[in-house]
Chain A
């Protein structure tokens, strides 16, 4: 158990809909990262927050957004869903901002299926 909690574990929704994925980082970790893992594109970095502020942005679509709340949990919002958004979405956390060379810890992921 990494200490990173993600909900829901599985989600099935229709095209055009909006979903929210939630992540609670490990106790004491200030950074939260979101990744998308699909069969054809591997592990793609989406976005990182550090202590409530956006720190780095990767291949995140404009239809997707995220935020980190004062209690450090984070939510990833996916809207106008398309079939191609079906993937495993991982949250990860680390103590520092990522620039210290430290380790990041992954949650078990949220499986999103768009039908």
Chain B
């Protein structure tokens, strides 16, 4: 079945460091891919999305490119800030089965 696998956490970085959180997926069709972010004490918020191969989603300095050949959607940011400390979830929407699948989440802590 469809699934999402993302890198284990927690991840701790210093401010202004480069961030990569890996996400790979398995899907039988042509899914849409998402990154959601959960700040402490809050619900999940959409960070960015991509709906087809080679699309790049971007928001708040974060980017992710839909790579069909490697079935990946890695999240990157060039220079993280303390305010980016949160849990990040990779997800896919299966067009055929009407379901969303979430990864296990990666906790990021950015220290000054």
Name A's B-contacting residues (CB within 8 A): 2, 4, 33, 35, 42-43, 45, 48, 50, 55-56, 58, 90, 92, 97-109
A106 touches B32 (CB 8 A): no
Interface centre among B51, B89, B99, B104 (most CB of A within 10 A): B99
Q: Which residues of B contact A55 (CB under 8 A)?
A: 98
Going nearest first, the 7 A-B pairs with the smallest beta carbon separation are A101-B32, A99-B98, A98-B98, A106-B43, A106-B44, A108-B43, A42-B104
Task: Judge whether B34 is part of the interface by a CB distance below 8 angstroms.
Answer: yes
Is B98 a contact of A48 with CB atoms below 8 Å?
Answer: yes
- Count A/B pairs, Cβ under 8 Å: 64
Shortest distance between the CB of B31 and any CB in chain A (Å): 7
Contact flag A43-B89 (CB < 8 Å), given A103-B49, A106-B44: yes
21 sample A-B contacts, Cβ–Cβ < 8 Å, listed by A number = A2-B45, A42-B105, A43-B44, A43-B102, A45-B100, A45-B101, A50-B98, A56-B98, A58-B99, A90-B44, A97-B98, A98-B97, A98-B98, A99-B94, A100-B95, A101-B95, A102-B93, A103-B49, A104-B100, A106-B43, A106-B44
Q: Is the CB of A33 within 8 A of B100?
A: yes
Contact A99 B102 (CB under 8 A): no
Cβ contact within 8 Å between B98 and A109: no
B112: Cβ under 8 A from any A Cβ: no
In the bound complex, residues from chain A placing their C-beta under 8 Å from that of B100 are 33, 45, 98, 104
A109-B43 CB under 8 A given contacts A43-B89, A101-B31, A103-B34: yes
Q: In the bound complex, what is the Cα–Cα distance between A105 and B100 (angstroms)? A: 12
* B46 close to A103 (CB less than 8 A): yes
A45 to B89, Cβ gap below 8 A?
A: no
Give complex CA distance A55, B94 in Å.
13
From 21 to 67 in chain B, residues with beta carbon under 8 angstroms from any chain A beta carbon are 31-32, 34, 36, 42-46, 49, 51
Q: Chain A residues with Cβ under 8 A from B42's Cβ?
A: 108
A24 to chain B, nearest CB (A): 14
